[in-house]
Amino acid sequence: MNFESRNPATGELLGVHPEHDKKETDARLQRAWDGWRRWSRTSLRERIALLTRLAELLEERAETYGRLITARWASRSRTPFSRSRNPPGPPATSPKQARLISDHKPSSGIPAEIVYESIGPVFSVQPWNVPFWQVLRFFNTTALVGNTALIKHAESVQGCAEALETLVRDAGGPEGLYVNLAIPVEACAAVIADPRVRAVTVTGSVRAGRAVAEEAARVGKRAVLELGGSDPFIVLEDADLAKAVQLAVTSRYFNNSEGCICAKRFLVAESLFNDFTKAFVEQSKALPMGDPMKEGIKIGPLASSGARKNLHRQVLDAVKAGARILTGGEIPAGPGNFYRRQCLWGCRPRRR
């Protein structure tokens, strides 16, 4: 089986990556285990030096990685190129994160002790929508305490997965410190159960988290689950309306609307409801949609044709349930997985 990367803006096939079979997976597990036995004996100073160099390389390669994230192998993460390349884009925030972790020291005067305890290779299941920063957020802390990292990245972003493995090696990381596993979801259970794997973490859906937690519990492994969220965006009566709308639009369409921290529900004070709604819709309509490699584009295509079909079905179901489409909600003609982001309002102002 091969993993394919396609450009959602055009449907173009960008790359084919062979799946790691059982033999290759076993070899990579052993690589992470042997690497841990060496890496765990390094000093904290050496580990900090690695993260510092990694941060420098991320800054030097910001243009290259920005294009990779936007237009090539990270084909399902349609972050506009300007944001991928520049702050707060992933190549820009990742080195800051690495430096923050490596520079952090205990505050003086507090009776506490920080212990960096290495436990072994840690298996991490990663999502497609933030293909660099999200992985490095896990890797930086994992490497700092002396563990090695086994990364099962999303099938659609294997180009990013391979680039990250190369990045760590170029930063001076020893063999086995960062190991990419190009495996399907079905193969994760065997990796979790392998005695060389000491802990597992997942960033993804609740369904994925349940599956990982179940396997980890079955074999008595430590597990950390990050399953996103959907907190409401609340606008109270004393809010600055213009600022509230600007922040609401930014939050709703952050990362092409494909992120767990995007605002999804808006609870607005009755006195501001009509004005907020009008301004929010106007600003949403004004966001340019198109190929995210072009400057000025704010909305790119959805991750896949399947995601677009599912979203459109959800919109139609919401309308049947009483929601009103104020803008968008249509599948445009032409190539790519484009979908004009809809504004759905589910209720009118409620009186006390």
Catalytic annotation, residues = 226, 260
User: What Cα–Cα distance (Å) separates residue 108 from each residue in 56, 105, 111, 250?
Assistant: 29, 9, 8, 38
Q: Where does residue 51 rank: exposed (0-12), middle (13-18), buried (19+ CB within 10 A)?
A: buried
Q: How far is CA 70 from CA 35, 207, 341, in A?
A: 32, 27, 19
Identify any residues that bridge with 178 across adjacent strands, giving them in sequence order.
Answer: 149
Contact between 197 and 26 under an 8 Å Cβ cutoff? The reply is no
Read off the amino acid at residue 156: S
Alpha helices in the chain (DSSP H): 22-39, 44-60, 62-71, 81-85, 90-103, 133-144, 158-170, 188-193, 206-219, 241-253, 273-285, 305-320
Taking CA atoms, 257 is separated from 286, 303, 345, in Å, by 15, 11, 17
Dihedral sign, Cα of residue 264, residue 269, residue 274, residue 279: negative
Write phi, then psi, for 180 (nearest 5 degrees).
-85, 135
Nearest CA to 4 among 108, 76, 65? Answer: 76
